[in-house]
C-alpha cells in the first residue's frame, strides 16, 4: 500500500511590522518631496548643465568636448570646452613657426564660465595683442581651473601648458583666495593637488585623493538644482569643512583658522601684517610655487609674467565698510597690499615681471 505524504501548503509571508511600513512611507514621501522640489526649482531657477570629471593628476575639472549651459544668479550662458577639458577653442599641440603662443594659468577669473567662450579674458587678450602685432599670429590658450591657486597652476603648467610650447606664460593671481587654495591645511579640499615644502626644502607632491563613491556623490550634487541650493545653505558651517575633508565638496571659504582667536573671514588673513603660523606657511608655499612655475617656464624657453587681481574691497576702496561688521578687525594691523608686495618682491628677486591690476581696475570702477 502506497504511503501518503502530507505536503505542507506554502505559508504566507510574515506581514510587515508597523515600523517597516512607516519606514517605507517615510522614504516614499521623501522621494516624492525631493522630486517635487527638484521640478519646481528647475522651473523657477534653471540649473547649470556643466559637466565635470575627476582627473587623477589635476583633480576635479571641466569635462572635455561639451557645449553646455552655465547658470548662476548673475549669468546664463552657453559655453564650450575643448578636447583638453578647458573653456576654450581647440588648440593643436604642435606650434606652427609663425605663431606666438601665450598660455594663461588661473582660477575662475581665467576659466570665465560667466561668459561665452569667445568673450573670456584669454580670447579678448588674443584679439588685443594681435591688433598690436604685425608679425606672428598670436594664440592665447586658456588653462584656467576654478577653485585653484599657484600650487595647482604649477601642476597644470607642468602637465599641460608645456605641451603647447609657449613663448609666454601668464599666471593670474587673486590674493583673496589663491594663497589659501595653494595650501592644503587651509584649502580644506582633498580633491586637488598640493605641494608641501619638506625639511630639506624640497617639494613633495600631494596628489588629489577622491574615491569613486565621492565622485558619484559630487556628480549628483552638480546635477541637482535642489542639492545645489542645499550646498549654498551650508557655506561656512562646520559640516562644509567636513564634507570638504572627505572630498564631497570644495569649501567656498576654506577651513576655520585654528591657530588664531580672531573672528574674521578666513580669507582675510592674507592681509594681516602678523598672521598666524598657518598663514605664514600658506605664504611660503604659494610664493615657492610661483617661483617654481617661473623657473619651469624659463627652462623651456618661455618668459613668465604674473598679474595680480585685487579684491573687490581693495578695488572699490571699501575696506572700512567691510571690516565694520567684525569687532575683532580693530585688533588687527592690516596690510591690504601685502600679497601684491610679496609677489612683486619675488619677481624682482627671481627675475620675472609683475603687473598689479588694482589701479587699472580702480580707474575703470571710478568711471
Kindly give, in sequence order, each residue whose CB lies less than 8 Å from that of residue 260, ignoring residues fewer than 6 positions away: 269, 275, 276, 278
Q: Is 125 exposed, middle or buried (0-12, 13-18, 19+ CB in 10 A)?
A: middle
Cα 95 from Cα 136, distance rounded (Å): 12
Q: Grid coordinates representing 262? A: 580672531
User: Is 9's pLDDT higher than 90?
Assistant: no
Residue 34: its pLDDT value, please? Answer: 55
- Look-up of cell digits 603647447: 164
Q: Grid coordinates representing 112? A: 570665465
- The CATH number corresponding to 96-366 among 3.50.50.60, 3.40.50.1110, 1.20.58.1030, 3.40.50.300 equals 3.40.50.1110
Q: What is the band of 201 on the pLDDT scale with cuts at 50, 70, 90?
A: very high
- Tens digits of residue pLDDT in 301-312: 999 999 999 999
Nearest to 32 by CA among 226, 214, 222: 226
Residue 198: its pLDDT value, please? Answer: 98
Cα 105 from Cα 121, distance rounded (Å): 11
pLDDT > 90 fraction of the chain, expressed in percent and rounded: 58
Q: CB of 146 within 8 A of CB of 111?
A: yes
Cα Rg, the chain, nearest whole Å: 26
Residue 248: its pLDDT value, please? Answer: 45
Residue 242: its pLDDT value, please? Answer: 45
User: Is 14's pLDDT higher than 60?
Assistant: no
Q: Grid coordinates representing 72? A: 548662476
User: Is 295's pLDDT higher than 80?
Assistant: yes
Cα 17 from Cα 4, distance rounded (Å): 38
Q: State the average pLDDT for the chain.
A: 84
Q: CB of 278 within 8 A of CB of 186?
A: yes
> How many other C-beta atoms lie within 10 A of the C-beta of residue 183?
25
pLDDT > 70 fraction of the chain, expressed in percent and rounded: 77
Q: Grid coordinates representing 153? A: 597652476
Q: What is the band of 255 on the pLDDT scale with cuts at 50, 70, 90?
A: very low
Q: What is the mean pLDDT of residues 208-232?
A: 57
What's the Cα-to-Cα distance from 232 to each of 53, 112, 328, rounded to whole Å? 21, 20, 26
Cα 309 from Cα 365, distance rounded (Å): 14
Nearest to 342 by CA among 295, 273, 255: 273
Residue 254: its pLDDT value, please? Answer: 41
Task: Give the helix/strand (H/E) hosting 151.
Answer: helix 150-159
Q: CB of 284 within 8 A of CB of 275?
A: no
- Tens digits of residue pLDDT in 30-55: 776 656 655 555 555 567 788 888 89
pTM: 0.80
Cα 335 from Cα 274, distance rounded (Å): 9
User: Is 218's pLDDT higher than 60?
Assistant: no
Residue 259: its pLDDT value, please? Answer: 57
Instruction: Name the 3-class secondary structure at 61.
Output: strand
User: Is 229's pLDDT higher than 80?
Assistant: no
Q: CB of 358 within 8 A of CB of 319?
A: no
- Look-up of cell digits 603662443: 101
Q: Of the segments 8-12, 47-51, 357-361, which one has the largest average pLDDT value?
A: 357-361
For the chain, list the strands marked E by DSSP. 52-55, 59-62, 67-71, 76-80, 99-105, 137-142, 168-173, 194-197, 203-206, 303-308, 353-356
Kindly give, in sequence order, each residue whose CB lies less than 8 Å from that of residue 119, ignoring residues fewer than 6 positions away: 112
Cα 166 from Cα 39, distance rounded (Å): 47
Cα 309 from Cα 175, distance rounded (Å): 7
Q: What is the mean pLDDT of residues 187-203?
A: 91
Amino acid at each position: 500500500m502506497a504511503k501518503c505524504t502530507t505536503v505542507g501548503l506554502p505559508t504566507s509571508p510574515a506581514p510587515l511590522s508597523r515600523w517597516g511600513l512607516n519606514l517605507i512611507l517615510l522614504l516614499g514621501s521623501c522621494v516624492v518631496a525631493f522630486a517635487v522640489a527638484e521640478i519646481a526649482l528647475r522651473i523657477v531657477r534653471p540649473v547649470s548643465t556643466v559637466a565635470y570629471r575627476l582627473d587623477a593628476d589635476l583633480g576635479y575639472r571641466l569635462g572635455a568636448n561639451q557645449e553646455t549651459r552655465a547658470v548662476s544668479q548673475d549669468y546664463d550662458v552657453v559655453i564650450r570646452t575643448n578636447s583638453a577639458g578647458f573653456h576654450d577653442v581647440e588648440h593643436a599641440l604642435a606650434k606652427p613657426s609663425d605663431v606666438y603662443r601665450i598660455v594663461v594659468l588661473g582660477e575662475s577669473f581665467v576659466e570665465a564660465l560667466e561668459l561665452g567662450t569667445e568673450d573670456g579674458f584669454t580670447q579678448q587678450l588674443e584679439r588685443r595683442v594681435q591688433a598690436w602685432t604685425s608679425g606672428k599670429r598670436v594664440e592665447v590658450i586658456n588653462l584656467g581651473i576654478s577653485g585653484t591657486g599657484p600650487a595647482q597652476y604649477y601642476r597644470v603648467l607642468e602637465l599641460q601648458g608645456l605641451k603647447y610650447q609657449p613663448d609666454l606664460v601668464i599666471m593670474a593671481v587673486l590674493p583673496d583666495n589663491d594663497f589659501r587654495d595653494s595650501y592644503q591645511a587651509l584649502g580644506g579640499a582633498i580633491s586637488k593637488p598640493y605641494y608641501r615644502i619638506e625639511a630639506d626644502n624640497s617639494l613633495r607632491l600631494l596628489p588629489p585623493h577622491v574615491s569613486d563613491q565621492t565622485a558619484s556623490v559630487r556628480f549628483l550634487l552638480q546635477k541637482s538644482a535642489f542639492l545645489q541650493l542645499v550646498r549654498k545653505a551650508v557655506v561656512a558651517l562646520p559640516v562644509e569643512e567636513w564634507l570638504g575633508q572627505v572630498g564631497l565638496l570644495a569649501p567656498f571659504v576654506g577651513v576655520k583658522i585654528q591657530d588664531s582667536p580672531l573672528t574674521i573671514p578666513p580669507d582675510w588673513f592674507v592681509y594681516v601684517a602678523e598672521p598666524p603660523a598657518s598663514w605664514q606657511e600658506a605664504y611660503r608655499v604659494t610664493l615657492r610655487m610661483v617661483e617654481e612655475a617661473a623657473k619651469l617656464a624659463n627652462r623651456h624657453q618661455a618668459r613668465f609674467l604674473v598679474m595680480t587681481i585685487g579684491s573687490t574691497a581693495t578695488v572699490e576702496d571699501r575696506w572700512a565698510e567691510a571690516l565694520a561688521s567684525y569687532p575683532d578687525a580693530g585688533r588687527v594691523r592690516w596690510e591690504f597690499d601685502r600679497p601684491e608686495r610679496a609677489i612683486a618682491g619675488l619677481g624682482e628677486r627671481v627675475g620675472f615681471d609683475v603687473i598689479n591690476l588694482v589701479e587699472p581696475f580702480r580707474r575703470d570702477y571710478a568711471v
